[in-house]
Amino acid sequence: MSSYDYDLFTIGAGSGGVRASRMAAGMGARVAVAEERYLGGTCVNVGCIPKKLFAYAGHYAEDFEDAAGFGWRAQPPSFDWPTLVANKDKEITRLNGVYERLLTGAGVKIFSTRARVVDAHSVEVDGKRVTAAHILVATGGWPVVPDVPGKELAITSNEAFHLPRLPASVVVVGGGYIAVEFASIFHGLGVATTLSYRGANLLREFDADLGSFLGEQMAKKGVRVLLHSQVRSIERRGSGLICAMADGSAIETEAVMYATGRLPNTLGLGLEQAGVKLAANGAVVVDENFQSSVASIHAIGDVIHRFQLTPVALAEGMVIVDRLFGGSERKMSYSNIATAIFSNPNVGTVGLSEAQARRDYGDVAIFRTSFTALKHRLSGRPESTLMKLVVDKASDRVLGVHMVGPDAGEIVQGFAVALVCGATKRQFDQTIGIHPTAAEEFVTMREPVA
């Protein structure tokens, strides 16, 4: 029996921390987890789950409009923001309970308070010191607002889920996935929405065609998309806000939301004092085994600032638990990680962008198509779908699958399996499509673009 109080002490009960803790307990380890806010972390409480629920809500306005082209007649619908917020909160409370039962059912001790690392094997929690053979930091990330005058008047995604009332207008600042998702949500709920981004193209971390095509579609729907645009200051004017822009213009709005990035949540955890090396942005620096500069202290998930995705944190959690308590030497693979952006329209992507493929493989073939989905032939909505394949000419292997359009995440998930299996373009061509669907376009594109 170890002389420590626990074999594993996890700080942070988000997706990665909960998975690692309960699976370690299932392997016979004595485990405790400390969480000062809410079980489930960002994803369950102020991330994936409530965001997807809000995204569903934002799509209904178009669904009601589209139904008219198919013969449906109804009274103009109305939307009630408090109902959406209350029902969202009810679902999150249910999920908080699920996470608690997963942990307690596995025999994990839960400390509902803040924890601070004291040294290589000690954690301070509930005013006392407990010891552990291994400490796992899984505290996630936190949204940040740039240091502009009036920043205290802005909100982030955290507050957007709990607004007491829906604003009549909003300026969303940013060009990443959180920015385009919330711009789509607000617009879908009837808010006059401006998306302001300082760059030349939305979604700069993704294939370039995705950001440019998405921006066009969002603009068609009525979102005011401003590129090369930067907010210089925010000030209160009457009951509203004024955004002073870098080009000298001003935007009057009821709310300003910043979605310009998240930083690792390591402030005040005692890591540096314990000898743990942190990156300039506060991320815990770890090796391929998720081990920090202190051998007994490990970190996974958003706090290491690699891929800020819930399934990645879950996978990292399993890799470290298998190594610490299962004798495994397997490593985490970050290739072909599929992801979806729940903007309107959706974005789905897996594998390499065109630019990455040209850099790594040189001679590549690009297959791309855009079209109006069958549904919109009757709805009359001016929305198009984009699909794109990136193929290595030498091996014929498909390196990237990218889509902008309805249910893009659902469609690309299946193609992610094909990429992990090393599928070739010839195998895509030999696959018989399901007709009529949008997804069949991925297996019927025959001619590469110039």
Same domain, 238 and 273: no
Same domain, 131 and 33: yes
Same domain, 198 and 272: no
Structure tokens at 51: 């965001």
Q: Could you tell me if residue 250 is inside a domain? A: yes
Structure tokens at 426: 């010839």
Same domain, 98 and 82: yes
Backbone phi, then psi, for 162, in 5-degree steps? -130, 20
Same domain, 215 and 174: yes
User: What CATH number does the domain containing 226 carry?
Assistant: 3.50.50.60
CA 448 to CA 450: how far, in whole Å?
6
Q: Where among 223, 242, 259 does a domain terminate?
A: 259
Same domain, 198 and 248: yes
- C-alpha neighbours within 13 Å on the C-beta side of residue 357: 26
Q: Where among 259, 285, 311 does a domain terminate?
A: 259
CA 166 to CA 159: how far, in whole Å?
12
Per-residue pLDDT of the chain (450 residues; tens, 9 = 90+): 579 999 999 999 999 999 999 999 999 999 999 999 999 999 999 999 999 999 999 999 999 999 999 999 988 899 999 999 999 999 999 999 999 999 999 999 999 999 999 999 999 999 999 999 999 999 999 999 999 999 999 999 999 999 999 999 999 999 999 999 999 999 999 999 999 999 999 999 999 999 999 999 999 999 999 999 999 999 999 999 999 999 999 999 999 999 999 999 999 999 999 999 999 999 999 999 999 999 999 999 999 999 999 999 999 999 999 999 999 999 999 999 999 999 999 999 999 999 999 999 999 999 999 999 999 999 999 999 999 999 999 999 999 999 999 999 999 999 999 999 999 999 999 999 999 999 999 999 999 998
Same domain, 183 and 319: no
User: What CATH number does the domain containing 405 carry?
Assistant: 3.30.390.30
Identify the domain containing residue 362 by its residue range.
Answer: 339-443
Q: Where among 274, 303, 326 does a domain terminate?
A: 326
Pick from 18, 326, 312, 38: nearest CA to 158: 38
| Residues acting as catalytic residues | 435
Q: Could you tell me if residue 1 is inside a domain? A: no
Same domain, 80 and 214: no
Same domain, 168 and 312: no
- Reduce the DSSP state of residue 139 to 3 states and report it: coil
Count up the domains in the chain and report the number.
Answer: 3
Same domain, 308 and 272: yes
Q: Could you tell me if residue 378 is inside a domain? A: yes
